[in-house]
Structure 1
Amino acid sequence: MTDSTQSNGTSAPYRDPSVYAEFSKKWPSLPQDETQWVKRAQEVADILALDAVQRDLENKSPRAEVQLLKYAGLLKILGPQKYGGGEQPWSVGYKVIRKVAEADGSIGMLLGYHLLWSTTATVVGTPEQADRYQKLVIENNYFIGGAVNPRDSDLKIQSSGNNIVFNGSKYFNTGGVVSDLTVLEGVLEGTDDHIFAFVETRQPGIVFAHNWQNIGLRLTESGGVKIDNVQVPWKDALGWNSELKKPDPEVLTIPFASLLLPTIQLVFSNFYLGIALGAIDYATKYTNKNTRAWPYGGDNKEKATDEFYILSTYGNFHAHLRAAITLADRSGEQVSAIYAKYAGETATRAKLTARERGELAEWVASTKVVTTDTGLRVTSGVFEVTGAKATGLKVGLDRFYRDIRTHTLHDPVAYKNRELGRFQLLDEIPEPTWYT
């Protein structure tokens, strides 16, 4: 099979998941600690790397690659052990995202977004909802997509008896085409209140546009989606009182409820970093094997690997990437510490202060600035040390730059610089927004 038929009859080409059937029993149990989880992610990355260039050129829906993530257990890394999850902290989850992104930025991004969406009920839901959805997702090994682009206000919600009804569209969604569940978000009619809810993806009211034709992250299925009369029981409106049909103030008006934003911003930074690390590794192999020394410089060398400017460039990239890794890891530890201290019962969540949340956001913002700057510089700069032939499509070095350039436009990094400037100069923590 080579296409995926939607409820409206349209279809999108995809790779048959059976291409990874040999791995269905390769990993009979989940890893037990950070070292084992990173090793598992490396094994997946090694598989993805074998044909990453060809898959990028084919631009097919990544059904097979999502199935590979399922086989490897990577979708379960954050889930509670009582339901069959790995119960690892976000700091480990971020390293796994990064490792997968080294081989394939698209699949690293999909894994990162899934882990964020799988945390949604933990952050904005009631403790009962959080437990219920963790059980559902982990026990079924579900992959989650999301139609939650906050710049689009086209998704409306109406109350209808015991249900809420979603109607409208989103210009972007991530991974929905290949997902089991989709997170929807919209504004309740007559209010300014937002509602998040999980829905089954495969239903007539969810119709994907199959229009993701961008230069990078081509395998993320980030195109548009139309939502037509999708009904959700009020009891599944995350963080809402289903009887009063109002937001639960003990859940949604506290700093903890805004943790999704710094959490996903650090997801971004880690797959940026993974893409950049993948680029320098890929370029290193190419330079060692294919790049020729420049014969007209006046200080001629026999091998490209003896060229001063090539050694200097690789050395500088190496140093900046090491610094970015250290910062990303430190920020991941900050995220993990916040969740370890405050996730759980409502009373525990309420203890997180605005200052603590704000300082976490600035750790994350710092990482976003550094990984964006470094990632763009490395993925474009590697061409200077590989040579003209490295621009060939069959080489595939360009995919790293295209991937990181595409997503670093998600929200302007200039605003992160300004935010950090106010923190440094005025000791102001940022107000929580859809991007902070």
Structure 2
Amino acid sequence: MSTVTPPDFTTRPTPRTAADWIARAGEVAAVLATDAVERDRAGATPYAEVQLLKDSGLVTLLGPVAHGGGGQDWRTAYRVVREISKADGSIGQLLGYHYLWNWAARLVGTREQWEHIEAEAARNRWFFGGAVNPRDKDVVVTEDGDDLVFTGHKTFSTGSKVSDVTVLEGVFEGTDRHVFAVVPSDSEGLTFHDDWDNIGQRLTESGSVTLDGVRTPWSSAAGYVNKQFQPRVYNTLNVPTIQLVFVNLYLGIAGGALETAAAYTRTRTRPWLHGGHERAVDEPYIVDTYGDLTAKLWAVEALADAVADEGQKLHDDPDAVTEQARGDFEVRVAAVKARATDVALEVTNRIFEVTGARATASALGLDRFWRNVRTHTLHDPVAYKRREVGRWVLEGELPEPTWYS
């Protein structure tokens, strides 16, 4: 972690408004930015970085005020993720996933379950991880009296060793019924492996995890009453909600890339010797490129904020969410996900055109922005996001709720 001393957030009042929380995220991002390149290169477990998120109160953003939470909504959470991601995409991802897993009980669980979990999470400043990859039936759940027993292996487990609690997901033996439960991350039988070694998002603790008979009470099975799941359309809002986390992660990384590149261009990029300009900032192609990339980024940010507003209306009245409303929202999320993916990849690639050959030096780490975006945007094929939009336009077809749509 940076040798720069972060602000002592413990002596300062808790932010009250959305603007205050976003400003606090900016302060945290400023600390993270001071040594982002070195930390990316080292790839060490980000204990100090997560502690900074806790000390600043950002982990409690969505929690109830009565228990020490920020009492904010998803619109603010997305903006906070975007702000943190400008400095460090890995920490932005960790925080965004934390928000989703913290909210998962409300999405899937009973009122009694989510009120308990949210109160404890805010009071104790829990950091959430998730051993969830529902594409594969790789974790089997069995019953043993009043307990559920999770056994298997997950390829990915974002948050792993830096989390206080982990959301587990598995399939009841011999069925297609999935079950989610929140368990302490130090639960017996839960083993996180240090095998995340990818080109980007290096500090997300996204390696594999083994579940060797992890036990949890039946009462912790989210949304189950008397061992029967209580379905609601709102249950399926987990996918568009986390996809908007992805959108703001990409936009934040792209914004950070532009800011970092512009600072380099102002101070270090040299004008082309045949261009007739004394300063790089007067080169027409450089001015044009920054204008082009900024306009594209601003456009997607505006769309992302508009879609977040639409989603918040659904979160505000969960029991009133209809299949039509959910489907229309997913289409909008798919649209902004597709645009954010394309623009973030373009921005993080083209910044080298306006910074110059010397900007490829490893010590500068400008490549981390592209590596981070490229890595995470492969989460699910963007072509299928465009397909959702196209089918809706041509046939009025709503996306079928799946683990990816």
Q: TM-score, normalised by structure 1?
A: 0.91
Aligned to 2:380: 411
Asked if structure 2 preserves the Cα contact closer than 8 Å seen for 1:411 and 1:435, the reply is yes
Say yes or no: does 1:360 pair with 2:344: no
The one-letter code sitting in structure 1 at the alignment partner of 2:342 is D
Say yes or no: does 1:264 pair with 2:233: no
Alpha-carbon offset, residue 28 of structure 1:
3.4
SS in structure 1 at match of 2:152: strand
Cα–Cα, structure 1 residues 27 and 428, in superposed 2: closer, same or farther, change >3 Å?
A: farther
Listed one character per residue, the Cα deviations across residues 40-96 of structure 1 (whole Å, up to 9, x for unaligned) are: 000000000111111111110001000000000001111111211111110011000
Instruction: Measure the CA separation in 2 of the matches of 1:174 and 1:54.
Output: 21
Match of 1:246 among 228, 233, 243: 228
The one-letter code sitting in structure 2 at the alignment partner of 1:173 is S
Instruction: Measure the CA separation in 2 of the matches of 1:142 and 1:308.
Output: 50
Instruction: Measure the CA separation in 2 of the matches of 1:206 and 1:164.
Output: 14
Match of 2:24 among 21, 26, 40: 40
Asked if structure 2 preserves the Cα contact closer than 8 Å seen for 1:27 and 1:72, the reply is no
Match of 2:141 among 132, 157, 160: 157
Cα–Cα, structure 1 residues 21 and 187, in superposed 2: closer, same or farther, change >3 Å?
A: farther
Equivalent residue runs for 1:33-432 within 5 Å: 33-241=17-225, 243=226, 245-248=227-230, 252=231, 254-296=232-274, 299-342=275-318, 349=319, 351-432=320-401
Instruction: Measure the CA separation in 1 of the matches of 2:237 and 2:18.
Output: 23
Aligned to 1:4: none
Cα–Cα, structure 1 residues 260 and 66, in superposed 2: closer, same or farther, change >3 Å?
A: same
Cα–Cα, structure 1 residues 324 and 25, in superposed 2: closer, same or farther, change >3 Å?
A: closer
Asked if structure 2 preserves the Cα contact closer than 8 Å seen for 1:23 and 1:71, the reply is no
Alpha-carbon offset, residue 400 of structure 1:
0.4
Cα–Cα, structure 1 residues 22 and 95, in superposed 2: closer, same or farther, change >3 Å?
A: closer
Q: Percent identity of the aligned residues?
A: 48
Instruction: Measure the CA separation in 2 of the matches of 1:281 and 1:23.
Output: 23
Q: TM-score, normalised by structure 2?
A: 0.98
Instruction: Measure the CA separation in 1 of the matches of 2:7 and 2:137.
Output: 42
Alpha-carbon offset, residue 368 of structure 1:
0.3
Alpha-carbon offset, residue 316 of structure 1:
0.2
Aligned to 1:12: none
Instruction: Measure the CA separation in 2 of the matches of 1:215 and 1:283.
Output: 21
Instruction: Measure the CA separation in 1 of the matches of 2:140 and 2:11.
Output: 42
Instruction: Measure the CA separation in 2 of the matches of 1:25 and 1:270.
Output: 25
Asked if structure 1 preserves the Cα contact closer than 8 Å seen for 2:74 and 2:308, the reply is yes
Listed one character per residue, the Cα deviations across residues 123-162 of structure 1 (whole Å, up to 9, x for unaligned) are: 1000110101111111100000001012232111001100
SS in structure 1 at match of 2:384: helix
Cα–Cα, structure 1 residues 21 and 137, in superposed 2: closer, same or farther, change >3 Å?
A: farther
SS in structure 1 at match of 2:214: strand
The one-letter code sitting in structure 2 at the alignment partner of 1:90 is W
Instruction: Measure the CA separation in 2 of the matches of 1:83 and 1:214.
Output: 38
Asked if structure 2 preserves the Cα contact closer than 8 Å seen for 1:287 and 1:305, the reply is yes
Asked if structure 2 preserves the Cα contact closer than 8 Å seen for 1:123 and 1:256, the reply is yes
Q: Which runs of 5+ in 1 are unaligned?
A: 1-14, 343-348
SS in structure 2 at match of 1:166: strand
SS in structure 2 at match of 1:150: coil
Equivalent residue pairs, number: 405
Alpha-carbon offset, residue 29 of structure 1:
3.0
Instruction: Measure the CA separation in 1 of the matches of 2:330 and 2:210.
Output: 32
Listed one character per residue, the Cα deviations across residues 236-275 of structure 1 (whole Å, up to 9, x for unaligned) are: 100012x3x2212xxx2x2111011100000000010000
Asked if structure 2 preserves the Cα contact closer than 8 Å seen for 1:27 and 1:71, the reply is no
Instruction: Measure the CA separation in 1 of the matches of 2:91 and 2:247.
Output: 15
Aligned to 1:11: none
The one-letter code sitting in structure 1 at the alignment partner of 2:257 is A
